[in-house]
Amino acid sequence: MPAGFWGGWVLTLTVLSVVGLAWFVFSLYFGGGGNQGGGEDEGPVWDGDLREGAHPAPMWWFWMTLAALVFSAIYLMLYPGLGSYAGALRWTEGGRLAASQAAWNTEFAEARAAIAAAPLDELQADPKLMAAAGGLFGRHCAACHGADAGGQANLFPNLTDAEWQWGGDAAAIERTIREGRVAVMVGWGAVLGQDGVAAVTDYVRELPNGVPAEHPGKTRYEQFCVACHGADGAGQPLLGAPSLANDISLYGDGEALVESIRDGRGGEMPAFGERLDDSQIRLLVAWLTRSESS
Amino acid sequence: MSQAQAAAEGASPPNAGATATAAALASYSDPVVRFLTACAVAWALAGMAAGVWIAAELVWPGLDFGQPWLSYGRLRNLHTNGVIFGFGVSALMGTALYSVQRTCHVRLFAPGLAWFCAIGWQLGVLAGGASLLAGWNAGKEYAELEWPFDIAIAVVWVCFGVVFFGTIGRRRIRPIYVSNWFYGGLIIVIAMLHIVNSLALPVGWGKSYSLFAGAQDAIVQWWYGHNAVGFLLTGGFLGMLYYFLPKHAGRPIWSYRLSIVAFWAFTYSYIWAGPHHLHYNAIPAWVQSLGMVMSLVLLAPSWATMINGVMTVAGAWRKLRTDPALKFIVLALAFYGLATFEGPMMSIKSVNVVSHFTDWTVGHVHSGALGWNALITFGTFYFLVPRLVGGALHSVRLANVHFWLALAGTMLYVLAMWGAGVSQGVLWLALDHIGDVRFGFRDIMASMAPYYALRLLAGVVFLVGAVLMAWNLWRTVQGRPTAVVHPP
């Protein structure tokens, strides 16, 4: 709200403009000489045949303009517009937002509190709620994890398979959504050397078929990798260390696996705790853990 | 009253001396008008083709072939700049220079400077278009060109003003005809808007930062953006209407008095209306209220002009049957009335809640741009071009076909975008049974497919009509020298 001089400036300019426009229109219709054209026969002739038509301005145009100006005056009395005058209704954008939020709360707050506290199987049994949860996924998650939750680009995990890097139980998934996750795998190139990277890569590729008894990469794996990924390659969800004992490989298992071991990886899932409320997070957990999901 | 009498009756302005009289005897400077008309037609084809291409990209996204310069983000700017500044301004410059000579009974002031404007403008738009494709972009809608082009535009525009007002200054008939008021408003206001909005700090040939920041930048930008629509696409083309419609209908402006009143009311209230582009954004509430109120007031002068135009034709309805050019102009008036009603309605804040950020805005713009600006220019060209060469239009039948293609294209376009825009606005606001947004962006985007396909069809239909016109006008002027016409 402009105060002081500028408030007065806006007020004066606006009032003068509306009054001035009104005066201008009034003087056209009721001023000296009346509402008449120049007269076709006496007026100037441009370019051979262009003349001033003599018809008076129609009365409906007067009423239309007057109505617009009266509406303006009333609107500016009710709503903010005239400088620092707040308007008779004391309307503000903030007030409008608060009112619509209050109305929304009245209508939905109770139902949403119930959802946030409901058992997952109850939510999963309600097709309407699952449809709403699918919509939530589409708006908030699908951009990275894909419209079908199948992951994409060897960067964003598939959420429909058995692999859950940070744990697949409801509590772990909820924490992943609410707080986000930051996964760090350091690069081992300097430690292992080129041959060492190749040997460990090969060893890791063997792990889905069981732990090899003899392997050139075995010693190094058990020295450097085992702390996070485990001796059998089962991974450690508490650290976000993925299982190496299955065929699922987020970043890819070709040259990308060599890069993962040599240069390391950093993965980040942003936190949604500020963007989604408890009921929405609960619905997403229910949707992700429902039986037809994986 | 004969023309000679009329010229004698119009008292000479104070500065009319022997030189002015001698200059007046020289024939009108029409070759520059012919050049600008040809450029306008070429820009119409190029700009509309770019529009059709990006409409097709919305249906088949792969049409950019992975090339940055073919991407929607760059071609869209080429489309808007090509049609507004290439087609629109070339047509306005050409018709302004044509009509100002004839309504002042004197040849152009500084015809050499007029040629400088005409050629300079084409080079500016051409190089500017290339810079947009190369990715230079100042980031302001309808003012995307970077600072070197902004300076060139300002120089050319001021020269255009010198030619126009110089011609008015040595007119041989005292009252200034109404079309010149609108063309003059166009020149003065666009110069003011362009120079202020383009103030920027350059940091390289192709990069600059606006002198304004944040909300102020937004307000300045839409003060420019909306009044570019107001004084260029509305006011400028009203100048075209006020000369060519009565000329063509062979009847005086129905109420000359109303036309002058409407000019001043239009000019005064338009300049306030820009903030309606920023409803519910981070600008002060009082700015939004004033923008909305003045937008509603604007309906009155807009419709005054429409009714004035319609009543001017009212005695010449018979001509509509045989004359495609007049048909174009009358249809343009109808779309003008529609768009100038729709605009104020969309500026009402509670309507804007639904319409803002949707394709409804795109539909509104095109009901004006296709239905009003393009149609009146087509009509004017069908009238003007044969006169420029002192011949007849090559094919009236082809012009009639063009008329129906243009009408169909415009209607399909506007209906498609109304459908798309209103459903976007309503679907975005819809909540489900637990108070969440009911439809995701994805779902709504997917539901746009049929509307976007219809829009593409509409664009193709409209473009085909423009191609027919280009051919028709080309055959009309082909091999004919520009007619030599002397002031009365």
CA-nearest of A283, A269, A261, A288 to A126 is A283
Radius of gyration of chain A (CA): 36
Write out pLDDT tens, residues B113-160: 999 999 999 999 999 999 999 999 999 999 999 999 999 999 999 999
In A, minimum Cα distance to B285 occurs at: A80
Residue spans per domain, chain A: 5-78, 106-180+271-293, 183-269
The verdict on B1 touching A (C-beta cutoff 8 Å) is yes
At a CB cut-off of 8 Å and minimum separation 6, what does B403 contact?
A: B324, B327, B328, B331, B465
Among A229-238, A268-277, B61-70, B151-160, the range scoring the smallest mean pLDDT is: A229-238
Residue A34 CB burial class (10 angstroms; 0-12, 13-18, ≥19): exposed
The verdict on B135 touching A (C-beta cutoff 8 Å) is no
- With beta carbons under 8 A apart, name residues in chain A contacting B253: 50-53
Distance from CA of residue B453 to its chain's centroid? 26
A21 to B435: CB separation less than 8 angstroms, yes or no? no
Write out pLDDT tens, residues A136-167: 999 999 999 998 999 988 899 999 988 899 99
Q: Which of B269, B286, B437 is the closest to A139 by Cβ?
A: B437
DSSP code of residue B432:
-
Q: What is the pLDDT of residue A57?
A: 86
In A, minimum Cα distance to B171 occurs at: A46
pLDDT bucket at A15, cuts 50 / 70 / 90: very high
Selecting from 3.40.50.2000, 1.20.210.10, 2.60.40.10, 3.40.120.10, what CATH number does the domain B17-236+358-478 have?
A: 1.20.210.10
Distance from the A181 Cα atom to the nearest Cα atom in chain B, whole angstroms: 25
Distance from the B284 Cα atom to the nearest Cα atom in chain A, whole angstroms: 7
Supply the ipTM of this predicted assembly.
0.88
Distance from the A9 Cα atom to the nearest Cα atom in chain B, whole angstroms: 13
DSSP code of residue B11:
P
CA-nearest of A130, A22, A37, A111 to A67 is A22
A53 to B251: CB separation less than 8 angstroms, yes or no? yes
How many C-beta atoms lie closer than 10 Å to residue A247's C-beta?
Answer: 8
How many Cβ pairs within 8 Å bridge chains A and B?
A: 178
Q: What tokens were used for B422?
A: 């209103």
Distance, CA of A118 to CA of A148 (rounded, Å): 25
What are φ and ψ of residue A44, in 5° steps? -70, 155
- With beta carbons under 8 A apart, name residues in chain A contacting B440: 135, 138-139, 142
HSE-up of residue B290 (Cα within 13 Å, Cβ side): 26
Q: What is the pLDDT of residue A294?
A: 46
Full-model pTM: 0.89
A50 to B243: CB separation less than 8 angstroms, yes or no? yes
- With beta carbons under 8 A apart, name residues in chain B contacting A48: 3, 6, 488
The verdict on B70 touching A (C-beta cutoff 8 Å) is no
Write out pLDDT tens, residues A51-88: 888 888 889 999 999 999 999 999 999 999 998 899 99
A50 to B257: CB separation less than 8 angstroms, yes or no? no
- With beta carbons under 8 A apart, name residues in chain B contacting A24: 261, 264-265
Judge whether A141 and A275 are in contact, CB under 8 Å: no
How many C-beta atoms lie closer than 10 Å to residue A261's C-beta?
Answer: 24
- What's the residue count for chain A? 294
The verdict on B6 touching A (C-beta cutoff 8 Å) is yes
Judge whether B307 and A56 are in contact, CB under 8 Å: no
Judge whether B170 and B106 are in contact, CB under 8 Å: yes
Which of A17, A30, A45, A46 has the most B C-beta neighbours within 10 Å, making it the best mutation to test the interface with B? A46
What are φ and ψ of residue B143, in 5° steps? -140, 45
- With beta carbons under 8 A apart, name residues in chain A contacting B99: 47
In the three-class reduction of DSSP (H, G, I as helix; E, B as strand; rest coil), residue B208 is classed as strand
Cα B479 to Cα B6, B467, B473, distances in angstroms: 35, 20, 12
Q: What is the pLDDT of residue B468?
A: 98
A139 to B440: CB separation less than 8 angstroms, yes or no? yes
The verdict on B11 touching A (C-beta cutoff 8 Å) is no
Q: What tokens were used for A253?
A: 């298992």
B293 to A36: CB separation less than 8 angstroms, yes or no? no
Which of A47, A62, A84, A100 has the most B C-beta neighbours within 10 Å, making it the best mutation to test the interface with B? A47
What are φ and ψ of residue B478, in 5° steps? -55, 125
CATH, domain range A106-180+271-293: 1.10.760.10
Q: Which of B10, B258, B284 is the closest to A44 by Cβ?
A: B10
In B, minimum Cα distance to A83 occurs at: B286
Residue spans per domain, chain B: 17-236+358-478
Q: What is the pLDDT of residue A39?
A: 52
For chain B positions 287-316, those within 8 Å of chain A (CB to CB) are: 289-290, 292-294, 296-297, 299-300, 303-304, 307, 311-312
- The residue ranges of chain B whose pLDDT is under 70 are 1-25
Q: Which of A24, A51, A81 is the closest to B290 by Cβ?
A: A81
- With beta carbons under 8 A apart, name residues in chain A contacting B441: 139
- With beta carbons under 8 A apart, name residues in chain A contacting B272: 17
Q: What is the pLDDT of residue B10?
A: 41
Q: What is the pLDDT of residue B25?
A: 63
B285 to A75: CB separation less than 8 angstroms, yes or no? no
Which of B3, B168, B179, B286 has the most A C-beta neighbours within 10 Å, making it the best mutation to test the interface with A? B286
At a CB cut-off of 8 Å and minimum separation 6, what does A184 contact?
A: A264, A265, A266
Write out pLDDT tens, residues B92-103: 999 999 999 999
Judge whether A266 and A183 are in contact, CB under 8 Å: yes
In the three-class reduction of DSSP (H, G, I as helix; E, B as strand; rest coil), residue B317 is classed as helix
The verdict on B108 touching A (C-beta cutoff 8 Å) is no
Distance from the B241 Cα atom to the nearest Cα atom in chain A, whole angstroms: 13
Q: What is the pLDDT of residue A1?
A: 60
Q: What is the pLDDT of residue B488?
A: 85
Q: Which of B173, B299, B434 is the closest to A108 by Cβ?
A: B434
Contacts 24+ apart (CB under 8 A), A171-177: A172/A237, A173/A285, A173/A288, A173/A289, A174/A281, A174/A282, A174/A285, A176/A269, A177/A272, A177/A273, A177/A276, A177/A281, A177/A284, A177/A285
% of chain A with per-residue pLDDT over 90: 71
Q: What is the pLDDT of residue A162?
A: 83
Distance from the B408 Cα atom to the nearest Cα atom in chain A, whole angstroms: 31
Distance from the A254 Cα atom to the nearest Cα atom in chain B, whole angstroms: 27
A46 to B312: CB separation less than 8 angstroms, yes or no? no
Distance, CA of B124 to CA of B118 (rounded, Å): 10
- What's the residue count for chain B? 488
- With beta carbons under 8 A apart, name residues in chain A contacting B438: 135
Distance, CA of B49 to CA of B73 (rounded, Å): 15
- With beta carbons under 8 A apart, name residues in chain A contacting B254: 53, 55
Q: What tokens were used for A120?
A: 């997952």
Q: Which of A44, A57, A104 is the closest to B435 by Cβ?
A: A104
Q: Is B480 or A42 the better-scoring residue by pLDDT?
A: B480
The angle at the Cα of B395, spanning B393 to B401, to the nearest 5 degrees, equals: 125
Overall CATH class of domain A183-269:
mainly alpha
Q: Which of B254, B268, B441 is the closest to A21 by Cβ?
A: B268
